[in-house]
Homo-oligomer: A and B are copies of this chain.
Amino acid sequence: MAKKYVYFFGGGKAEGNAEMKDLLGGKGANLAEMTNLGVPVPPGFTITTEVCRMYYANRGRVPKEVKEQVRKNLAKLEKLTGKKFGDSKNPLLVSVRSGAKFSMPGMMDTILNLGLNDRTVKGLAERTGNERFAYDSYRRFITMFADVVLGLDKDLFEEKLDEKKKEKGVSLDTELDAEDMKALAEAFKEIVREKTGKPFPQNPNTQLDMAINAVFRSWNNPRAKFYRKANNIPDDLGTAVNVQTMVFGNMGDDSATGVGFTRNPATGEKEFYGEYLVNAQGEDVVAGIRTPKPIKELRKEMPAVYRQLVDITKRLEKHYKDVQDFEFTIENGKLYMLQTRVGKRTAMAAVKIAVDMVKERLITKEEAVMRIEPIQINQLLHPIIDPKAEYEVIAKGLPASPGAACGVVVFSADRAVEVASEGKPVILVRKETSPDDIHGMDAAKGILTARGGMTSHAAVVARQMGKTCVAGCEEIEIDEATNRFMVKGRTISEGDYITLNGNTGEVIYGQVPLITPKLTGAFGELMKWADSFRKIGVRANADIPRDAQVARDFGAEGIGLCRTEHMFFAEDRLPIMQKMILARTKEEREKYLEQLLPMQKEDFKGLFRVMKGYPVTIRLLDPPLHEFLPKREDLLVEVTKLELLHADRELIEEKKRILERVEELHEFNPMLGFRGVRVGIVYPEIARMQVRAIMEAACEVAKERVKVKPEIMIPLVGMASEMRVMRELVVSVAEEVQKKYKKKVPYLVGTMIELPRAAIRADEIARDAEFFSFGTNDLTQTTYGFSRDDAGRFIAEYMRRSEKCPECGETLEKDLSCPACNVTYDRRPDNILDFDPFQTLDQKGVGDLIRIGIERGRGTRPNLKVGICGEHGGDPASVEFCHLNGFDYVSCSPYRIPIARLAAAQAAIREKERTRVAKAASSTKRSRAKSSKRKSAKK
């Protein structure tokens, strides 16, 4: 018997199956599988990948025996469908598609309606009773064929179409009538003749042979080659060709077309969901010219078909164990499934569906947990804009902090507090925010800034506070003097309402209704399962009791980072802090520190009470001292003005005195300057006050019979000697306080690892540190040499470069498709940076240092506690990194806690699965080895 090169599918059974991807390609194997499952897909056949290899071996020719097998299968198809290839009454039309083992952009996609010619187009017109449709299909087919098979420029046809529209005085294709389409088809054929010197092929068999050859050719076009290279796909796999019957839903009133979901994709409710149109083609459902009917009505109109559809889609859902999004066509009362795929859904629906499916025993709890994209959960934790609302977007910035917020515009932090206290919701609009704005951000519902990136002050603090924030909205022009901002010719003044969408970065004019999603039972259940799978702890970055409470509500198991400096920016404290910094002697400094002590102590007591025995990691003062003082430039300008205006001498002297100290503290690169542990060592009295406040708070709360677990963290350590000296300081104060209170409180002393040197010398530092918390923000800054405040500009450029098509230089679309080349990349093609390392941990660089740090640290102290407390603590990919590298916990903003919990669970499940697979593989190997031993023993 001759070798089999073509595999048929249709009529309830197929010659191939899902396992035959090597031979039939992914698409062909799947069509075979569906057919075998009893799903009525339009029948057809697949030409194997082997033929593709033969084609190339054979200098671009398809061997004769293949052609013969194609003819035979065509005949089979004609028999099954009752249609005939090239028949003018009931013509068989087919689609031709490429289909390699791996889904692969760059190759020929689809030719529809192959088999149309001057004669069969009439049959199609007759059978559909729609001449315009038939000729429209014909002229489209000619275009597509000319483009991908004959290699002509599509623009030639587009121009002709435009001419026609101009001639008719219309602007839309749909405004052209049947005669226009007929004329266009003629004109298109003329173009083909003119450009190729040959008439457009009228013989359907010739069309088919040419299309098959075109598919094989497309395997080696530059884009496909580039893609294979980038993805390590061998060049000799070859592609299969799928030839499939066209079916039409516009063949009369016993025909229809529709789309649907096996469950409600918005809510997750288990209900058959979808819509359809009688006597229509697929495009009509989407186009919105006719209003589709809800799918339930099909039950009345075509009860048998409806039952079949429900039955099939149920089976599909069971088979694929997930919600199906399907397209179907009914041709003369016969149902065909055109497509079925996993359905997209909202976060709320995703959670409900996953939990329901576990209850239906369709999937396991692990699978349910794996079904939710962690980042999606954000939607469930914040208000969203009502999906039904209509609104006008006036500008777009960066989606810096999720959720939606609506309120009246104010332009200063103080006004935010005032207006909010009147009970009005407030949106704070600033060029950029600084620590001085904290109270205003706190009072506002949302924050909008004109400058700054995803990790600007506004963005970081807003995420921390769980406030909606749109940052870096450069379109808006703020005029603080007149309290308004301009955008696209429109002026928004203080008191006007705007709405922010922090998920998209949209700035919306006026008030828009918001929905506050509830943390439903399903969500709670899912998170419980997640917690049962995950191996690493999840803590929160929280500075104040209110944030700590939010964190607890979201399931935090401790505080991984309490930034004590945030406490000093409060209105009642900043002046004292400033006096302390301006002080000239240690004694003077200590005087003001004494005043700060009781305030800090109260802060800590609040935290300890909320956390009820969960560990609270408190970082000693970190920022450079000048952050607490007025800005140097402002003072310079002020003094210049005061002097020129001959202002009061005393005032000038006062300002000059401050300026002098500011100048003294001024740094060229504050990020690499006098901050962190360096301040603690040079001014130990500050550190001592903080440790005293922590330990006194701990003792006092412990006396209230609340468990306390302070973990005191030294920032910015780079040398073992720094850690040693600070540990001695902490221990001596802690012991003294405990003696005073006659109360023992368990506490740890540890450090942030946020400098490359700390990671490299972790072995020495671990001698005096009981825990490491990787401060990946700073570590990323120093490892890359990127200032977080400045790098935004070139990081954007580094990522924008990658948005250009390497083929043609066009800017790629958001989905990485090139509008010119008609190719979609799955990764950025010419990137300097694939991602912003401040958002996603750079595992190869920063991550390698972290690995070194952990290895060396645990080399010295095997039970060293290891955590992470940078922005990355809530990024799912980074959480997985932490899971895999032996972290004890991750710490992130309160609103990121559920995301981190889910990501940690998924990381654990994935690892378990990998281990299982590896074990299975090695046991197979072993058993093979055994059996071969046995065999050789027998000899």
> Which residues does A use to contact B, with CB under 8 Å?
632-633, 636-637, 640-641, 644-645, 667-674, 678, 681-682, 716, 718-719, 721-722, 725, 754-757, 760-761, 778, 781-787, 789-791, 793-794, 797-798, 801, 831-833, 842, 844-846, 848-849
Contacts and interface: CB of A to CB of B under 8 A. Distances in A.
B670 A785 contact: no
A785 B785 contact: no
Nearest to A717: B785
Given A636-B633, A668-B789, A673-B787, A846 B757 contact: yes
Contact of A832 (B671, B722, B786, B797): B722
A875 to B, nearest CB: 19
B716 A785 contact: yes
Given A637-B637, A681-B832, A760 B644 contact: no
Contact of A844 (B725, B761, B798): B761
A352 to B, nearest CB: 42
B674 A845 contact: no
Contact of A785 (B782, B797, B845): B782
Binding site secondary structure of chain A? helix
Contact of A757 (B632, B681, B801, B845): B845
A183 B794 CA distance: 84
Contacts of A669: 669-672, 787, 789-790
Contacts of A756: 756, 782-783, 785, 845, 849
A474 B787 CA distance: 31
A609 to B, nearest CB: 35
Contact of A784 (B633, B718, B789, B793): B718
A645 B643 CA distance: 12
Contacts of A721: 831-833
A663 to B, nearest CB: 10
Given A789-B669, A790-B672, A797-B682, A761 B637 contact: no
A834 to B, nearest CB: 9
Nearest to A793: B674
A671 B674 contact: no
The residue among A641, A644, A721 with the most chain B CB atoms within 10 A of its own CB is: A721
A326 to B, nearest CB: 42
Contacts of A793: 674
A633 B849 CA distance: 38
A846 B761 CA distance: 10
B644 A790 contact: no
A640 B642 CA distance: 11
Contact of A640 (B640, B794, B842, B844): B640
Nearest to A633: B636
Contacts of A791: 672-674
A788 to B, nearest CB: 8
B672 A760 contact: no
Contacts of A760: 783, 844-845, 848-849
B637 A785 contact: no
Contacts of A778: 785
Contact of A678 (B633, B794, B848): B794
Nearest to A679: B794
Contacts of A755: 783-785
Contacts of A674: 790-791, 793-794
Given A644-B645, A760-B849, A845-B760, A672 B671 contact: yes
A836 B625 CA distance: 23
Contacts of A640: 637, 640-641, 644
Contacts of A846: 757
Contacts of A719: 832-833, 845
Nearest to A847: B760
Contact of A682 (B672, B782, B794, B833): B794
Of A725, A784, A797, A849, the most chain B CB neighbours within 10 A belong to A784
A766 to B, nearest CB: 15
Contacts of A831: 721
A830 to B, nearest CB: 8
Contacts of A794: 674, 678, 681-682
29 contacts: A636-B636, A636-B637, A640-B640, A641-B644, A644-B645, A668-B670, A668-B671, A668-B787, A669-B669, A669-B671, A669-B789, A671-B785, A672-B781, A672-B785, A672-B790, A673-B787, A674-B790, A674-B791, A674-B793, A681-B801, A681-B832, A718-B786, A721-B831, A755-B785, A756-B783, A757-B785, A757-B845, A782-B782, A782-B783
A832 to B, nearest CB: 5
B672 A672 contact: yes
Contacts of A833: 719, 721
Contacts of A667: 787, 789-790
Contacts of A644: 640-641, 644-645
Given A668-B670, A668-B790, 15 more contacts: A632-B633, A636-B637, A667-B787, A667-B789, A668-B787, A672-B785, A678-B794, A681-B801, A721-B833, A755-B783, A755-B784, A756-B782, A756-B783, A757-B842, A760-B848
